[in-house]
Amino acid sequence: MKKIVVLGSINIDTILNIDRLPLPGETMAMHDRSIAGGGKGANQAIAAVRAGSETSFIAKIGKDHAADFMMDTFKKDGLNIDNVTMDNEAGTGKAYILLDEHGQNSILIYGGANQTITADDIDEAASTISEADCLIAQFEVPVPAITKAFKIAKDNNVLTILNPAPAKKDIPVELLKLTDIIAPNETEAEAITDVKVVDLDSMRQAADKMHDMGVGIVLITVGSKGSFYSLEDRSIGFVDAFKVKAIDTTAAGDTFIGYLASQLHKELDNIEGAMRFANKASSITVQEKGAQNSIPYHNQVKF
C-alpha cells in the first residue's frame, strides 16, 4: 500500500446555491445553503485515503465545534491525524462557495488556523514525511512550511507534488526546484507563467516555462476537457476527461490530485494511466453537490 502525506488546509465549507454569480453591487437571493467539510488539503487527503493509500495529514485546526466536526470525518475515513494540531487563538478555516446552476463555483477563503502552520510543526512531522512515498501540498498553508516539508521529502527520496492553488505569482524558486510534479489548472498556470492557457500549444509554452523554473513534471488540468502533461524531456501528452453532467465542480481538482498520487508508480512510468484513473474519479465527484461527501471510494471508480 502506498504511503501518502498531505500538508494542507482544513475548512468548513458554506455552500450558497445561486442562479449565477452576482454583478458588482448586485443583491441576489439564493436557493439553498448547506455546510460541509472542505479545504484543499483535507479534500486531497480524503481522496488519497479513499483511493486506497495509507494517508497521513499535516494540518491545523481551531479550538471550536468546526474542528470537532472535521476530526470526526477524518477518523471515519481512517486518515492518520497524528500531525493535525490545534491553534488556541485562530479559528478553524472557512470557505464560502458560490455555486451556480451550471455547477461552476467561486470560492472565498478565511485561512484561520491553516495560516498558523510553522516550520516547527513540520519538524514534528519529519519522520512521517521521511517514511512516505509521496508528499502533497497546496497554497492554503504558508509557503515556508511547504518549503521545509519538501526539503525533508527530497532528502529522503520522497516524491513531491505541488498543487499551486489558490493561484499565486512569484512562487519561490527554491520551492519549485524541490517540486517533482506541479499540478495547476489553467488559471494557476497563467498566474505562474503569464501564458494564457487556451490550447495545446499554450499548454506546452506554459509547461516549458515551469520546467525552466526547475520543475521536473508539469500537469495542467483543464476542467471538462481533461489534463495535459509534460515530462522532464519536454515530451507531452493529453488525457481526455470523461463526459458527464456536472452538478458541482467543488473538489474535482482535489480528487484528481489525491487519486493521481495514489496511482503513480515511483518510476512515474504509468503517468497516463494514473491521470486517466484520476480523471475518472473527478468525473464522479462533479456529479454530486459538496466537497468531501462527493469524493468517491476506490471501488466506485470503474471504467
- Using CA atoms, how far apart are residues 116 and 10, in angstroms rounded to an integer? 12
Residue 11 labelled as part of a binding site: yes
Residue 223 labelled as part of a binding site: yes
Q: Where are the beta strands (DSSP E) in 63-110?
A: 80-87, 93-99, 105-110
Q: Where are the alpha helices (DSSP H) in 156-270?
A: 173-177, 186-193, 200-212, 252-263
Coil vs helix vs strand at 227: strand
Residue 221 labelled as part of a binding site: yes
Residue 2 labelled as part of a binding site: no
CA 265, 269, 275, 276 dihedral sign is: negative
Q: Clarify whether 254 is annotated catalytic.
A: yes
Residue 250 labelled as part of a binding site: yes
Residue 235 labelled as part of a binding site: no
Q: Return the amino acid letter for 24.
A: P
Give the residue among 99, 50, 68, 110 at the shortest CA–CA distance from 282.
50
Cell readout for 155 is 532528502
Residue 233 labelled as part of a binding site: no
Assign residue 251 a region (left: φ > 0; alpha: ψ between -120 and 50; beta: otherwise).
left
Residue 100 labelled as part of a binding site: no
* 154, β-bridge pairs: none
Give the residue among 155, 163, 162, 165 at the shortest CA–CA distance from 132.
155
Residue 25 labelled as part of a binding site: no
- Using CA atoms, how far apart are residues 165 and 181, in angstroms rounded to an integer? 14
Residue 295 labelled as part of a binding site: no
Residue 80 labelled as part of a binding site: no
Residue 75 labelled as part of a binding site: no
Residue 103 labelled as part of a binding site: no
Residue 43 labelled as part of a binding site: yes
Look up cell 487556451; give the residue: 198
Residue 290 labelled as part of a binding site: yes
Cα 193 off chain centre by: 20
Contact between 226 and 239 (Cβ < 8 Å): yes
Name the catalytic one among 19, 233, 254, 269: 254
Residue 42 labelled as part of a binding site: yes
- Alpha-carbon Rg for the chain, nearest whole angstrom, is 18
Residues making up the annotated binding site are 11-13, 39-43, 140, 185, 221-226, 248, 250, 253-254, 279, 285, 288, 290, 294
Q: Known binding site for substrate: residues? A: 11-13, 39-43, 140, 254
What residues act catalytically? Answer: 254
Q: Which residue ranges are tagged as binding site for ATP?
A: 185, 221-226, 253-254, 279
Positions at the binding site for K(+): 248, 250, 285, 288, 290, 294
